[in-house]
Every structure is written in structure tokens, then in C-alpha cells.
A = this chain, B = another copy of it.
Amino acid sequence: MRRTTERSRATLKEVAREVGVSICTASVVLNGSSSGSRISTGTRDAVIDAAQRLGYRANLVARSLHAGRTHMIGVVPAATDTNILLGPHLQHVLNGIVNETEAHHYDLSLITRCDQSHPTDLLNALLGGKMDGVIVVAPRSNSRLLPLLREESLPMVVIDGDPEQCDNYFVIDNVQAVRIAIKHLYNLGHRKIGYIAGPQELYAARIRKDAFFAVMKAFQIDVQLEWLQVGEFAYHSGFEGVKRILRNANLPTAIFCANDETAFGAMDAIQDAGYRVPEDISIIGFDDVPLAPHSHPPLTTVKQPVDEIARAATLALLEHIDNGTPIQSRTFPAQLIVRKSTGPCENSQFR
């Protein structure tokens, strides 16, 4: 009798030999689909028993090789050279993806090699047969990955990507999102509205800025370029952006920030300068991250249904892989969350 505590690396062959049956029989008993009904109870039990004793565990790599699929999904998040990977928004996206893959018994692999540097490297990792599909999150517009990947047959889905560049995109309706934000400010009487944008290599940042111009025009408000700053979707971007805006003689009564972290920085800068939010300057953000209700004052923002987007994208991908269901791109509506960082324009000393 063998020690069971030994490095349990028993293979099907060893189990079979132990029992004295063919490796095929062992396979059918242990992992067979036409589950063992065809096997006599005696053999069956003996095999199971032996497998137990020897600590047998199916080798998934061998299985994958045979099956031609791995049940593994690759996730390629935005480039790591900035700390965008670390933002709460990406984290929520990841969380949504994980929940969905898990429910469908898929594993998930994080592929982080920078888009731009070695797209070849990335492609090898993705196309080497280890992934059944890929989810690209917020690709940079200069990324060479997307066009390359489009020519391959690997099932793919893109979250927060440019619909113009993606076949299968899942994205919020950024234009509508910007519209409800501006409309909210407009209804409060604001006509002097600034904007702090995100990094323009990111689709979400670019489209929001473009939408800002378009929507402002629709509301017949002139965009003042001195009130327009470009940041990096980060706290310091908001902080410094506002500092720069405040150097002007003429100040806006409201500032729209391209994401919540920027908005946090913006509010602090305003208050640092001795002004009040929202009395002097209203601030509105984008995303509705967990801390948004807890900022000072609580942040008015445009909420993305992040979890829904991430799960829908993942589900579409998995169903395509599993059943060949065609993938339908989708656009999701944004929702305005009114809290305390926006108020009527009439109180402002800058109006």
C-alpha cells in the first residue's frame, strides 16, 4: 500500500494500472461525459477508490489540448504606465467581469503587458491557444493591439472602447451622459461652465470632451478655453486644473470634471482658494465611485452602470464562445446622481 501523502501527481495511466483496467476505462469513470453507466459497478468503484488513494487529479492542460479550449478568458486593461489600472473605475469593471466569468465557470487571466511597447508579445500571449476569448478594457487610441486583434479569429469584446474602432463594444452613452450633466447645470442657471478633461489617448476622455463642446453648442453656451483643462483622470489633475482656472480674472460658476477623482481634486482646490462649493462654483463629476457620496460636499455626478456593462460584455463573449451566439454591441444610458456639489448659479459671486 502506498503513501497517500506523497506528491500527488498520479496520472490516469497509473490509476489504470493500479486497478488493472485500461486507461480509457479509467478516463470514462473519472471524467467521462457519458458518465459511467456503461461501466460495471465493480470496476467503477475500484477505479474511484484507486484514484482516491493515489490522489489522482485530472490534468487540465492535457484536457485543454485535446478539447481545443481552455475555459480561460484574457483581460487586457488600459496601459499600466499610468496608474489608471489602479483607479476605482477599472476595479469595478474587473469585479463585474470576474463575477460573470465565475458564474460560468471560466477562469480569468490578467494580461498587462503594455499595449504599445510590444504588441507582438501581447498577441502571442493572447493567441497562443491559452485563451478562449479576450476582453479589452479602455484601449488607448494609439494602441496597435486592436487592429491586429481584429484580423484574428479570437472572440473579443471591448469595454469602454471607441465604437468606430471596435466590432463588439460595450460602452456608456457618453454624449447622453454629458448632456444630462450640462442640462443639470443649465437648469440651475449656469452659463459659465468649465471643463477638466481626461487623457486624450483614452476614448472615454476624448468623446466626453468632444461631447462637451457639442452639448454646450446645443445649449448655445460659448466654451471659454481658459476654463478648459486637460488632466489625467486623477485627483491632482482636478486640483491643478482648478488652480490654473482660478488664475483668470473671469471665473466660471460651474466646472464639469471628466471623472470623480478629478472632481475630488477640483473641490479641494476651490475650497483651498477660499471659495465655496457649490455656492461659488458648482462641481459635477463622472462615474459615481464608492466615495462620491462621502466627499465634502457629497458629489453630484453622472453614474455609469459599470457592473452591468462589464457583465453584459462578458456574458456576450461567453455565449459567443459556448454557443456561437453573435455578439451584439450595446450602448448603456447614464444616470444623473444629484448630491450637494451643485447648486443654483444665482448665489455665485462669479456669475
Q: Which residues of A contact B (CB under 8 A)?
A: 5, 7-9, 57-62, 64-65, 70, 72, 80, 85-86, 88, 91-92, 95, 98-99, 102, 107-113, 124-125, 127-130, 151-153, 235, 264-265, 268, 290-291, 294, 296
Contacts and interface: CB of A to CB of B under 8 A. Distances in A.
B98 A128 contact: no
B72 A109 contact: yes
B129 A60 contact: yes
A150 B85 CA distance: 32
B60 A128 contact: yes
Given A70-B61, A108-B109, A264 B291 contact: yes
A179 B9 CA distance: 46
Given A62-B129, A65-B65, A86-B92, 10 more contacts: A57-B128, A58-B124, A61-B64, A61-B70, A98-B110, A98-B112, A107-B111, A107-B130, A235-B290, A264-B294
A153 to B, nearest CB: 4
Nearest to A58: B128
Nearest to A64: B61
Contacts of A65: 59, 61-62, 65
B290 A86 contact: yes
A80 B152 CA distance: 34
A60 B130 contact: yes
30 contacts: A5-B151, A7-B153, A57-B124, A57-B127, A57-B129, A58-B124, A59-B128, A59-B129, A60-B130, A61-B64, A61-B130, A62-B65, A62-B129, A65-B65, A72-B130, A80-B102, A86-B290, A88-B88, A91-B91, A98-B110, A102-B112, A107-B110, A107-B111, A108-B109, A108-B112, A109-B110, A235-B294, A264-B291, A264-B294, A291-B291
